[in-house]
Structure 1
Amino acid sequence: MSTAMFLVMPEWQGSPSSRAMRIAEGAALLREDLPAASRRDVAVPLEAGDSLGTPVARLSGLLRAQEAAREPLAEAAAAGRPAIVLGGDCASSLPALEAAQRGADDRGERLAVLWFDAHPDLQDPTTSPSGAASGMTLRHALGRGAEDLASGSPAAVERVTLIGTRAEDPEEVAEAERLGLRRISPERLGAEDEAIAAALADALADADRVYVHIDLDVLDPAEFSSVHSAEPFGLTVAQLTAAVRAAVARLPLAGAAICEFAPADEAQAAEDQPSVLRILAALTSGGGNGAPA
């Protein structure tokens, strides 16, 4: 049975928060709970970097982090193991998704992308109010946006599903509608395992593997508060873990990212870290964890 490889990528340069370094601190906490034999550390630069004359803030730091992720992602691909990136901002999901899509393209497979996120991450670099790459991640994954970050192996629009998205600016709403992105609201997802599996059926129907992006702000702040941008009326931890389990039970996991774990202090970390580990367990619960059927 193939097992996942865990890439600890404490990238914070894509965050718009003035407290972005909490992401790196959260990554250090998660690192200690991962099996050493399956863990790889991505050497993210300590410095912020600069925009390189583009609208993307801290672009040079982001590019260095992506470059550092390529070797462990290639190692995971060569071993036939899905890579799970964790500990970074949302932009840390981009190299893992690109690698998963490239692998699917090389095998002639169809990759479903489940985007669990309070935000659609579809901001345009030229109009983004912050210039933060996290808010542009899905746009870049679709091969759009800034040339330096746009994926060379774009995800297929028709196989991307926004789940739990509820905070978006007018430009993102317009872009999502233009692209015709599928959506699943927390209400539609439901609470029972059978209902959750049924809600995901269309998103997974014509795919061979699945990539799962999880920004922890998809969770309701009443249950999880270790994020920079908490949004009300989100998923419960039980909903999220049930949805992830249903997805990887149906399709092999091609890769994943758990993003934006940013506890404010030790007490908040102690309260919320077990939920992150439950999500990680759900991601690795599928038969084969990404091994071909």
Structure 2
Amino acid sequence: MASPMFLLMPQWQGSPSSRAMQLAEGADALREDLPKSALTEIAVPLEAGDAMGTPVARLSSLLRAREAARTALEPILVEGRPPIIVGGDCASSLPGIEAAVRTTGKLAVLWFDAHADLQHPSTSPSGAASGMTLRHALGEGSPDLLAEPALDPGALTLVGTRALDPEEVIDLERLEIDIVRATVSSPAAAASTDAAGAGTDAAGASASTDALHRAILDRISGADGLYIHIDLDVLDPSEFSSVHAPEPFGLSIAALTGAIRAAVAAVPLAGAAICEFAPADAHRAAEDLPTVLRILAALTSGSRAAEASDTGASE
């Protein structure tokens, strides 16, 4: 598998948070640790933008950023390199999903996210595009943001999703989309669960980690390529706090990176996105940045293994 390209896309206009600009600050923190030879920066408008008469907030800026990402993706796809989009809100993942659907025969999508992102523009409480990302990827929602081509819901698996709106529950059932629950939580989350009488010991955590991997591998088996979306709020907030919408009882860092490594070892990476890195200040950015880099390392572990195998075969 060819080595990935990193697309730094500091899009904040899709976020519902009043602190959305922290996403741009998170992207700035990431920039220094991304390899310059494999880095493309996506021009995101500085202004908030407007809804253009639709229910989608800041739509005009979102459309400009999406078009810039589509343009940047084209030469990367011609080279056959998997693109990894980093530094933005969840809606920044949409161009990458489109590209993976277009260029991959049988695609599997793993959606690591505390939220389903299946809100419809007509009923979204915030009008924020981040909460509608999967809806648009599946070809439903605002005509301006519909994925081209749309993702088949049968290709999709949600992982670690635990905060759902009632309408999203209905849509998950309608579309027959599976959720792999966050069966492995951080030590702190496990301790709080223990207090309720339903905790697990180290052996139990190991067993549930294995179960998580098996569940994921079962769902992506037979795919030609894999797209991985990671909203960092899939992590338990006791281990990672640089997000706008933390939800308790998430995945541990080790469980997330282990699951990603297992997945990319089984199926070639077609693309990925790491979203919602929103450190509150420089101290928090320095504290949580290593976790984001560990996730990036897990995503690229498949390409490094393939390169090592190719080198060994040629000797």
Sort the TM-score into its range (normalised by shorter chain).
over 0.9
Once the two structures are superposed, the pairs formed by residues 1-293 of structure 1 within 5 Å of their partners are 2-104=2-104, 109-187=105-183, 191=206, 194-287=210-303
* Alpha-carbon distance change, 218 to 115 in structure 1, aligned in 2, over 3 angstroms: same
* Alpha-carbon distance change, 272 to 191 in structure 1, aligned in 2, over 3 angstroms: farther
More helix by share: 2
Asked if structure 2 preserves the Cα contact closer than 8 Å seen for 1:3 and 1:289, the reply is no
For 2:304 and 2:133, the matched residues in 1 are separated by 28
- Structure 1 residue 191, shift from structure 2 partner: 4.2
- Structure 1 residue 195, shift from structure 2 partner: 3.3
- Structure 1 residue 264, shift from structure 2 partner: 0.2
Asked if structure 2 preserves the Cα contact closer than 8 Å seen for 1:12 and 1:20, the reply is yes
- Structure 1 residue 71, shift from structure 2 partner: 2.0
Asked if structure 2 preserves the Cα contact closer than 8 Å seen for 1:118 and 1:167, the reply is yes
For 1:214 and 1:240, the matched residues in 2 are separated by 9
For 1:52 and 1:289, the matched residues in 2 are separated by 47
- Structure 2 letter corresponding to 1:250: A
Deviations 1:136-165 (A, max 9, x none): 000101111110001011111111000000
Deviations 1:175-206 (A, max 9, x none): 11111101100117964664333121221113
Asked if structure 2 preserves the Cα contact closer than 8 Å seen for 1:248 and 1:289, the reply is no
Asked if structure 2 preserves the Cα contact closer than 8 Å seen for 1:81 and 1:290, the reply is no
For 1:183 and 1:206, the matched residues in 2 are separated by 19
Asked if structure 2 preserves the Cα contact closer than 8 Å seen for 1:164 and 1:184, the reply is yes
For 2:237 and 2:213, the matched residues in 1 are separated by 24
For 2:60 and 2:39, the matched residues in 1 are separated by 25
- Structure 1 letter corresponding to 2:10: P
- Give the 3-state SS of the residue equivalent to 1:186 in structure 2: coil
Asked if structure 1 preserves the Cα contact closer than 8 Å seen for 2:226 and 2:271, the reply is yes
- Give the 3-state SS of the residue equivalent to 2:45 in structure 1: coil
For 2:303 and 2:24, the matched residues in 1 are separated by 31
Deviates more, 1:200-209 or 1:271-280: 200-209
For 2:246 and 2:84, the matched residues in 1 are separated by 23
- Give the 3-state SS of the residue equivalent to 1:229 in structure 2: coil
Question: Over aligned residue pairs, what C-alpha RMSD do you find?
Answer: 1.7
Asked if structure 1 preserves the Cα contact closer than 8 Å seen for 2:15 and 2:89, the reply is yes
- Structure 1 residue 289, shift from structure 2 partner: 8.1
- Structure 2 letter corresponding to 1:30: L
For 1:290 and 1:166, the matched residues in 2 are separated by 34
Asked if structure 1 preserves the Cα contact closer than 8 Å seen for 2:184 and 2:252, the reply is no
For 1:207 and 1:153, the matched residues in 2 are separated by 18
Q: Structure 1 length normalisation: TM-score?
A: 0.95
4+ runs of 1 displaced by more than 2 Å? 188-197, 287-291
State, as a whole percentage, how many aligned pairs show the same letter. Answer: 62
Asked if structure 1 preserves the Cα contact closer than 8 Å seen for 2:183 and 2:212, the reply is no
For 1:101 and 1:188, the matched residues in 2 are separated by 30
For 1:252 and 1:288, the matched residues in 2 are separated by 11
For 2:81 and 2:51, the matched residues in 1 are separated by 34
Aligned pair count reads 288
- Structure 1 residue 288, shift from structure 2 partner: 6.2
- Give the 3-state SS of the residue equivalent to 2:3 in structure 1: coil
- Structure 1 residue 256, shift from structure 2 partner: 0.2
Asked if structure 1 preserves the Cα contact closer than 8 Å seen for 2:216 and 2:263, the reply is yes
For 1:149 and 1:132, the matched residues in 2 are separated by 12
Gaps of 5+ in 1: none
